[in-house]
Structure 1
Amino acid sequence: MKKIVSGAAMVIVAASTLLVSLAAPANAYAVNYGAIAHSAKTGSIAWSYDYPDSASAQRNAMNQCSGPCKIVARYSNGCGAISHSPGWYSYGAANSLAAAKSQALRKNPGSRIIHWSCTSGHQF
């Protein structure tokens, strides 16, 4: 026995499917911002993550940092990292933790990672 579906029923099914696919979770496409602040003079490191905008993430990191600090890494749905060797710091920011660490280490051969942080939504 064959089932026959009218054209009107097909339109309703297609429209329902489209609406369901458009109703993704609110945070499925969220952009999360993070920042790292650092003071080379005092060694203070402060960070923030999962803020709704870059300015808020940077402000929060700066508010937590002691000493003359500056923002050294900004990222969205990603990670930041700091590497250190005697007398020298370098920084990286990228979509994944591995890439952020690699960037910081590449800028400062012989250094080691002393801090990293990531937002939600970063790549693994």
Structure 2
Amino acid sequence: MFYTAAEVLPQQDKVARRLGTIADILFRRSRKDFNIRVGERELRYTDSPRFVIVFDSPRTVRRLILRPNEYRAAEAFVDKHLDIEGDLIAGLKTKNALIERAPTLRLGEKLKILFTLLRI
């Protein structure tokens, strides 16, 4: 369950596939009991998610990843650019796991994320 790649929908959408690549790198060592929705695009890890992370657009994803901090995420949440549907506590735990993971990303992973983000 930890190394599962996201099922990307729609499959032919290049932006959705790029978002899936980024999510798979960032959440590689996370429990995959959630899904992600970005606008009309879906990244599915499971058929019965505990929660769904919802972004209004790929632009929001890019902004949060390129300049990550707690304030920016809170602002996106308040402004309805980011939401968590379902188990909010589990969603916050996953966010904390992601924050702990970010400093351990290898240089190759960071570069892949950066180049993929620039193509969204």
Q: Specify the TM-score bucket, using the shorter chain as the normaliser.
A: under 0.3
> Which of the two has higher C-alpha Rg?
1
Bigger RCO (CA 8 Å, 6+ sep):
2
TM-score, length basis structure 1: 0.24
TM-score, length basis structure 2: 0.24
Greater per-residue helix proportion: 2
Greater per-residue strand proportion: 1
